[in-house]
Structure 1
Amino acid sequence: MNKTANWNYPTSVRFGVGRIKELPELCKSVGMLRPLLVTDRGLGSAPITTAALDSLKEAGLSAALFSDLKPNPVESNLDAGLAAYRAGKHDGVVAFGGGSGLDMGKLIAFMSGQARPVWDFEDIGDWWTRADPRGIAPVIAVPTTAGTGSEVGRAGILTDERSHTKRIIFHPQMMPRIVISDPALSVGMPAFITAGTGMDAFSHCLEAYCAPGFHPLADGIAVEGMRLVKGALVRAVKQPGDLDARADMLAAAAMGATAFQKGLGGMHALAHPIGALYDTHHGMTNATLMPYVLKFNREVIEERITRLAAYLQLTNPGFDSFLDLVLQLRSDTGVPHSLAELGVDDSKTMLIAQMAVVDPSAGGNPRTLTEANVAQLFGDAVHGRL
């Protein structure tokens, strides 16, 4: 099947192998003549980044690179990015890479014309209305991993080092103007990153599907996203040059981020404090937590999961066959069975429980999270008690 297309949902998406060549003209189309390409340290000197930067310069654009980002970006990274943006008199951002590069690119563009501190725009109530929309620069997003789906999101995650918490900064106009989803850019990802980001996409779809509330649009997107991951993730990990599998995973990542407008849940509520305190890979943390949170929620999601298992054409569709699928996906892609294997211990159990129950994702969990039951859930995941 020819997997090349232009979509206009939830923003303008140019999807297909080789679409990165359109980057210079797309920058010009949104009035961006001095773009700042923002990515993470690992990608800063990668051939795909160098090629993208060179293409911008060859097209006559005054482009520059900013890549001083931690895997879990912090406020000082944002400050450095804003300094680079202003020093170069840039007029827009190319957010390039995985979740950290995409989020930081959007945050730099958002904060480039704001007078208030970034924490004033946390995703609480109507805090986003505090922002001056005239101070938000345009963004073109170019994902190189298939996981976070941040390229089609209206928020960025930033770690507050003072409280060791991940905070969500939100504004409707943080949505990139244009997305270039080129499966060829994800071919060079290490297996660990392919697996972790791919399972993150799966977790977005799964938690959105299980979140309470009436949102059949999100549910439909979520179940098809999970079908794509089921068929493509193991191939993408074990056959990294399989562009068909890479395309399906890129689509599933965008679908997960679109679906989770409905909500997330316990996986993310725990993964956020764990990542902030232990600096673990976000997607791999979600993947490790997945079966434990599923089991925790079983009593209230079993009927829904049975419908999902039937859609996924599992043998004897039901909760158990779906849990077996999750465990098989984890095994086949090298996901650890316990958090201990990610370097997480139980010395901060109560702190993590306290942070998890107030995380913005907690409210979307289908079963109410309390400090006591989250502490038990976390302990099970640390020690591999399923």
Structure 2
Amino acid sequence: MSATTSPTAHWSYPTAIRFGAGRIAEVAEACAALGMTRPLLVTDAGLASLPITVRALEGLKGGGLDATLFSDVQPNPTEANLAAGIAAYRAGGHDGVVAFGGGSGLDLGKLIAFMQGQTRPVWDFEDIGDWWTRADAEAIAPIVAVPTTAGTGSEFGRAGVVTNSETHVKTIIFHPRMLPGIVICDPELTVGLPPILTAGTGMDAFIHSLEAYCSPHYHPMSQGIALEAMRLIKENLPRAHSDGKDIEARAHMMAASGMGAVAFQKGLGAIHALAHPVGALYDTHHGTTNACIMPAVLRFNRPAIEDRIDRLAAYLGIAGGFDGFLDYVTGLRAALGIPDSLTDMGVDGARLDEMAAMAADDPSCGGNPLPLDADILKGLYEACL
């Protein structure tokens, strides 16, 4: 292959990971390894009083760290939540963050660590071009990430999502140093996750890998990771959903979730572009929204991905190529109780034009196998109602 046709790309892979049941006991040690003495434990309001969070806070204090809790985090965090977190960080004289929870807690925790030392507004660091270079990198606090779901994979990400409370637009804020210094993946923390959230977060992880796998960008390492992540989810999500105490299935799901986040460095696509406005405007669960939208996008992208899906189906042991795979994912959705349509999730057709315009501006569009515009995206929304 000549130099003019050789592929080029920029690749980045994750951080130090402590994986296994019971590893939450190492949270204080992990913080100390990053130089923290006064960590701020950031989680969402729903987790704040649960035993897993109480134990994590006690583990920090028992390890000799002066830790406090911040939990003013809503399901789709806004700049107001971020401002409150930054105020708590500064008022407490903290020197690092433990981001604890699902995507909301993880993202906001990372954003607090990032923004507490910056002087510019958060919107100045949107994931556009080299905007991340505007940040004072030395002012970013260290982060330990502890996922309590198996879905977003935010623990392995260098970005956080924050919703603008005025425009209702979800914005991706990026900086390489937002990547946590240490990740603790303890599947025991997911045992209490209700079936409905196990389903939604698990489908989110599956779709991260599916969209990455279908993305036309060149990233063969992510391509391979996406394949294996989908195999793990196919074999273990139904088990985790039917028996939340199946620790082996929970562990494989936690691994697959992180793998999906690594894989989507290759790109996402129309599923995420369509889901983000729905979540911002109707406050729906992100992974469940993705799963609801998925079949319509697969059908739309079929001309560009059919051969690739044929290979995926063969790897997963699914007969029938593209059609067999489509039947499999729609059957999996039904088995997990995922709604058939956006209408079933409380979305009406009143804001389709607004949603389509928002989706067209979403950076996930750039990874879709076929070109997208507002008219196409509106048609896809209509197909999901």
Q: Across the two proteins, how many residue pairs are aligned to each other? A: 374
- Which amino acid is 1:30 matched to? L
**Aligned 1:274-313 pairs, distance under 5 A:** 274-313=278-317
**Which residue in the other structure is 2:86 paired with?**
82
Using the alignment, how far apart are the partners of 2:225 and 2:232 within structure 1?
A: 11
Instruction: Identify the match of residue 345 of structure 1 among 348, 352, 356.
Output: 348
Secondary structure of 2:47's partner? helix
Tell whether 2:116 aligns with 1:115.
no
Q: What secondary structure, in the 3-state scheme, does the structure 1 residue paired with 2:145 have?
A: strand
Q: Does 1:34 align with 2:38?
A: yes
Shift in Å, 1:301: 0.4
Q: SS of the residue aligned with 1:42?
A: coil
The answer for unaligned runs of 5 or more in structure 2 is: 1-11
Listed one character per residue, the Cα deviations across residues 174-210 of structure 1 (whole Å, up to 9, x for unaligned) are: 0000000000000011111110000000010000000
Note the C-alpha offset of 1:367: 1.0
1:376 Cα offset (Å):
1.1
For residue 44 of structure 1, give the secondary structure of its aligned residue in structure 2.
Answer: coil
Query: 3-state SS of the aligned residue for 1:40?
Result: coil
Query: Could you give the per-residue CA deviations for residues 122-181 of structure 1, whole angstroms, max 9, x where no partner exists?
Result: 001100000001110000000000000000000000001121100000000000000000
Structure 2 letter corresponding to 1:130: R
Of 170, 173, 176 in structure 2, the residue corresponding to residue 172 of structure 1 is 176
Give distance in 2, aligned partners of 1:9 and 1:119. 25
How big is the shift at 1:374? 1.1
1:240 to 229, 241, 244: 244
2:132 and 2:175 in contact (8 A); partners too = yes
Q: Which residue of 2 aligns with 1:356?
A: 359
Q: 1:4 matched to which residue of 2?
A: none
For residues 328 and 234 of structure 1, the distance between their equivalents in structure 2, rounded to whole angstroms, comes to 11
**Structure 2 residue identity aligned to 1:94:** V
Residue 99 (str. 1) matches residue 76 (str. 2): no
- Work out the CA distance in 2 between the residues paired with 1:9 and 1:215: 12
Query: Which of 216, 219, 225 lines up with 2:223 in the alignment?
Result: 219
The one-letter amino acid of 2:36's match is M
Using the aligned pairs only, state the percent identity. 64
Normalising by structure 2, what TM-score? 0.96
* 1:39-59 Cα shifts (integer Å, max 9, x gaps): 000000010000110111112
Mapped partners of 1:211, 1:354: distance in 2: 22
SS in 2 for 1:41: coil
**Is residue 18 of structure 1 aligned with residue 19 of structure 2?**
no
Does the aligned pair in 1 maintain the 2:13–2:262 contact within 8 Å?
no
Q: Report the equivalent of 2:331.
A: 328
Residues 191-237 of structure 1: per-residue CA shift (max 9 Å, x gap): 11110000000010000000112211110000101001100111111
Give, as a single letter, the amino acid of the residue that structure 2 aligns with 1:353. Answer: A
Which residue is 1:377 aligned to?
Answer: 380
Secondary structure of 2:75 counterpart: coil
Post-superposition Cα deviations, 1:321-356, rounded to whole Å, max 9, x if no partner, equal 111110111011110110111111111111111111
> How far apart in 2 are the matches of 1:9 and 1:154?
10
2:139 paired with 1:131: no
Q: Which residue of 1 aligns with 2:3?
A: none
Instruction: Write the distance in 1 (CA, Å) between the matches of 2:295 and 2:149.
Output: 23
CA distance in 2, matches of 1:370, 1:24: 48
- Using the alignment, how far apart are the partners of 1:355 and 1:12 within structure 2? 36
Following TM superposition, the consecutive aligned residue runs of length 4 or more in structure 1 with deviations greater than 3 angstroms are none
Alpha-carbon deviation of 1:315? 2.1
Question: Counterparts of 2:169 and 2:108 in 1: how far apart (Å)?
Answer: 16
Counterparts of 1:380 and 1:342, CA distance in 2: 14
Give the whole-Å Cα distance in 1 for the aligned partners of 2:75 and 2:60.
25
Tell me which residue corresponds to 2:5. none
* 2:152 counterpart residue number: 148
Q: Residues of 1 paired with 2:289 and 2:107: CA distance?
A: 18
Aligned to 2:264: 260
Structural RMSD (CA) = 0.9
Structure 1: 5+ residue runs without aligned partners? 1-7
Give 3-state SS (helix, strand or coil) of 1:69's partner.
coil
* 1:9 to partner: Cα distance: 5.4
Residue 298 of structure 2 aligns to a residue whose secondary structure is: helix
Q: For residues 79 and 214 of structure 1, what CA distance do their matches in structure 2 show?
A: 38
- 1:93-120 per-residue CA deviation (whole Å, 9 max, x = no partner) reads 0000000000000000001111111110
**Deviation for aligned residue 1:358:** 1.1
1:291-342 CA distance string (max 9 Å, x none): 11101111110000001001101123x1011111101110111101101111
- Looking at structure 1, the residues matched to 348 and 247 of structure 2 have their Cα atoms a distance apart, in angstroms, of 38
